C-alpha cells in the first residue's frame, strides 16, 4: 500500500492550483441520469471517488468521454467529461459498487424520477459516524415513492411518477437535499424543500439542473422550490473550485508559514473558515487569480470553532484545523456537531506530540511549540490530510500510511505541495 513520506519544517511558498470540487462533481455526475442527452461537465477532478462513480454510472448505462486534455487554467488533471445516459440499462446499484462511497447512494433519486424504480445498496463512505439514510427515504416517500429496506438494499418505486410536495428536512443534510432536488425536477407539480442544505455544492447542482431545463428557485437558501417538468435536456456546466482543498492548503500555510497563492480559489465559498484562519494570524486576500495566504514567523493564535452546516465552519475542515491548533500558543476548543465519530485523527496527532483531550463532542487542544515526525495512519479522508499538514510543520520525518484515503479527495497532493517547497513524496509498495 502506498505511503506518503514528509520531512517537515519548510515554509510553503509559491502557487497551488485548486481543483474542481469532489463534493460538487459527484452529484453533478449523478444528475446525468436524469436525461437521455449529453451532460458536459468541466473541471471534473481526477480522483478515486470520481473514477468509482464513473464505474457505478457505467453499470446503469451511462457512457462517458473525456474530451479535454489538461486544462491550462489550473494546469491540473481536472478534465471536461461528457456523460450520456441514452438508455438506463440497469436500475440496481449493487453492494460491491455502492459500499465504497457514500455519494453513490444518491443515484436512487434520479433513477426513481426517470425510471420509476430503483434498487440501491445502502452506502459506505468515510467511517465518521453512523450516517443513516432515513431522511432520503422519508423525503422520497413524501414525493410519493414506495420504499422498503430489505437485504441491505433500498428498494424504491414510483410507478406513476413522483408527485411534488412540501418536505421539511428534520436535519440539514447535503446529500438528501441533492437527491430530493434532483428527484423533484421530474416530479408532477411543485415541490417545496424546507430546512434544505445551503452548501455551495447544492447551488452548483441547482444551476446545472436549471441549465438542463429544470425550474428551481432558492438554492443557497433554506427553502428551495422546484416546479416539475416532463423531461430534462443536456447542458454544459462547470464544477466549482474545491473549497475543502482550498481551506486545507490555507491551513497548511497558516501552520508552516510562507506565502502561497491558491489559484482559482474563491474566498466566498468558505468565508467562515477564512475568518477563523485569519484569527489565527494568517493573512488572506482574494486576488483576481485566486486567494493568497501568508503568515510570517509569529505564533499561531488559538481559536475556538464549532462545526456547522454552511455557512458555518465546515466539518470537512475540522481535522485540518485541529492540526493547526496543535501548535498554537494556548488552548482551543473544537466542537464537532455534524458527525458523532469524527475525531479519529486525535490519537494520530498525539503520535506527533500533540496534546489533545476529548470531552464528548469537544476536543480541547493545548498547543505545543513543536511537533515531531512519526508513523501515522488515518481512517478517513480529511483526517489523513490533517496528518499531512501536521507532518509539514513537524520536525523530522513523518510517514502517513493508508494513502488511498487521500486519493479519494486530493488531486496530486504531493506534487502541489512539493512545488511550494515541501519535502513530500509518495512511496509506492
Ligand X SMILES: CC(=O)N[C@H]1[C@@H](OP(=O)(O)OP(=O)(O)OC[C@H]2O[C@@H](n3ccc(=O)[nH]c3=O)[C@H](O)[C@@H]2O)O[C@H](CO)[C@@H](O)[C@@H]1O
Ligand Y SMILES: C=C(OP(=O)(O)O)C(=O)O
Binding residue ranges for UDP-N-acetyl-alpha-D-glucosamine: 102, 171-174, 316, 338
Q: Which residue from 341, 287, 387 is spatially nearest to 8, judged by alpha carbons?
A: 387
Q: Are residues 425 and 412 in contact, defined by beta-carbon separation less than 8 angstroms?
A: no
Nearer to ligand X, 387 or 393 (CB): 387
Q: Choose one: 67-75, 101-109, 143-151, 194-202; the region binding ligand Y (CB under 6 A).
A: 101-109
Q: Which does 176 bind (CB under 5 to 8 A by kind): ligand X, ligand Y, none?
A: ligand X
Tell which positions 239-258 bind ligand Y, by CB under 6 A. none
Nearer to ligand X, 276 or 300 (CB): 276
Q: Does 125 bind ligand Y (CB under 6 A)?
A: yes
In whole angstroms, the minimum distance from the beta carbon of 56 to ligand Y comes to 13
Q: How many whole angstroms separate alpha carbon 341 and alpha carbon 343?
A: 6
What SS3 state is found at 51? helix
What SS3 state is found at 186? coil
Q: Which does 338 bind (CB under 5 to 8 A by kind): ligand Y, ligand X, none?
A: ligand X
Q: Does 53 bind ligand Y (CB under 6 A)?
A: no
Q: Does 100 bind ligand Y (CB under 6 A)?
A: no
Q: In this chain, which residue has its C-beta nearest to ligand X?
A: 175
Instruction: Cell numbers for 280, please give them.
Output: 489565527
Alpha helices for 14-133 (secondary structure H): 22-31, 48-60, 95-98, 108-115
Q: How many whole angstroms separate alpha carbon 162 and alpha carbon 323?
A: 46
Active site residue 420: no
- Interface characters, 9-48, with ligand X (x: CB under 6 A): --------------x--x----------------------
Query: Across 75-211, where does the E strand assignment appear?
Result: 79-84, 92-93, 117-121, 146-150, 153-157, 166-168, 190-194
In whole angstroms, the minimum distance from the beta carbon of 131 to ligand Y comes to 8
Which residue in 30, 57, 108, 133 binds ligand X (CB under 6 A)?
Answer: 133
DSSP string, 226-272: EE--S----EEEEPPB-HHHHHHHHHHHHHH-EEEEEET--GGGGHH
Nearer to ligand Y, 50 or 327 (CB): 50
**Identified catalytic residue from 39, 120, 126, 269:** 126
Q: Which residue from 304, 317, 418, 424 is spatially nearest to 367, judged by alpha carbons?
A: 304
- Interface characters, 147-186, with ligand X (x: CB under 6 A): ------------------------x-xxxx----------
DSSP string, 131-142: ---HHHHHHHHH
Q: Choose one: 61-69, 87-95, 122-130, 235-243; the region binding ligand Y (CB under 6 A).
A: 122-130
Instruction: Cell numbers for 221, please give them.
Output: 437558501
Q: Which residue from 17, 128, 10 is spatially nearest to 410, judged by alpha carbons?
A: 17
Site residues for ligand Y per CB under 6 A: 23, 101-103, 125-126, 128, 316, 381-382, 409
Amino acid at each position: 500500500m502506498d505511503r506518503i513520506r514528509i520531512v517537515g519544517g519548510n515554509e510553503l511558498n509559491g502557487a497551488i492550483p485548486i481543483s474542481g470540487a469532489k463534493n460538487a462533481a459527484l452529484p453533478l455526475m449523478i444528475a446525468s441520469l436524469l436525461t437521455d442527452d449529453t451532460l458536459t461537465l468541466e473541471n471534473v477532478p481526477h480522483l478515486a471517488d470520481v473514477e468509482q462513480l464513473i464505474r457505478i454510472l457505467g453499470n446503469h448505462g451511462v457512457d462517458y468521454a473525456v474530451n479535454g486534455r489538461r486544462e491550462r487554467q489550473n494546469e491540473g488533471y481536472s478534465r471536461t467529461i461528457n456523460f450520456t445516459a441514452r438508455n438506463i440499462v440497469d436500475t440496481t446499484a449493487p453492494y460491491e459498487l455502492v459500499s465504497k462511497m457514500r455519494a453513490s447512494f444518491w443515484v436512487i433519486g434520479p433513477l426513481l424520477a426517470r425510471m420509476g424504480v430503483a434498487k440501491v445498496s445502502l452506502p459506505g463512505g468515510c467511517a465518521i459516524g453512523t450516517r443513516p439514510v432515513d431522511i432520503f427515504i422519508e423525503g422520497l416517500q413524501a414525493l410519493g415513492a414506495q420504499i422498503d429496506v430489505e437485504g441491505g438494499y433500498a428498494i424504491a418505486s414510483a410507478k406513476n411518477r413522483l408527485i411534488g410536495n412540501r418536505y421539511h428536512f428534520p436535519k440539514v443534510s447535503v446529500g438528501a437535499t441533492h437527491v430530493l432536488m434532483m428527484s423533484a425536477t421530474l416530479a408532477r407539480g411543485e415541490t417545496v424543500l424546507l430546512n434544505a442544505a445551503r452548501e455551495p455544492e447544492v447551488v452548483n447542482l441547482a444551476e446545472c439542473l436549471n441549465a438542463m431545463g429544470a425550474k428551481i428557485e432558492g438554492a443557497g437558501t433554506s427553502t428551495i422550490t422546484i416546479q416539475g417538468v416532463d423531461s430534462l435536456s443536456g447542458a454544459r456546466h462547470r464544477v466549482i473550485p474545491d473549497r475543502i482543498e482550498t481551506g486545507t492548503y490555507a491551513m497548511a500555510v497558516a501552520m508552516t508559514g510562507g506565502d502561497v497563492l491558491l489559484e482559482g480559489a474563491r474566498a466566498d465559498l468558505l468565508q467562515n473558515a477564512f475568518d477563523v484562519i485569519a484569527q489565527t494570524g494568517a493573512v488572506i486576500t482574494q486576488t483576481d487569480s485566486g486567494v493568497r495566504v501568508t503568515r510570517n514567523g509569529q505564533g499561531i493564535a488559538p481559536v475556538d470553532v464549532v462545526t456547522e452546516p454552511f455557512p458555518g465552519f465546515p466539518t470537512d475542515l475540522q481535522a485540518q484545523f485541529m492540526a493547526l491548533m496543535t501548535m498554537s500558543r494556548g488552548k482551543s476548543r473544537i466542537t464537532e456537531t455534524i458527525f458523532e465519530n469524527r475525531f479519529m485523527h486525535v490519537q494520530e496527532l498525539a503520535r506527533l506530540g500533540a496534546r489533545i483531550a476529548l470531552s464528548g463532542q469537544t476536543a480541547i487542544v493545548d498547543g505545543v511549540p513543536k511537533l515531531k515526525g512519526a508513523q501515522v495512519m488515518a481512517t478517513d479522508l480529511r483526517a489523513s490530510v490533517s496528518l499531512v499538514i501536521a507532518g509539514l510543520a513537524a520536525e523530522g520525518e513523518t510517514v502517513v500510511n493508508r494513502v488511498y484515503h487521500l486519493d479519494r479527495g486530493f488531486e496530486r497532493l504531493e506534487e502541489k505541495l512539493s512545488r511550494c517547497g515541501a519535502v513530500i513524496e509518495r512511496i509506492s509498495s
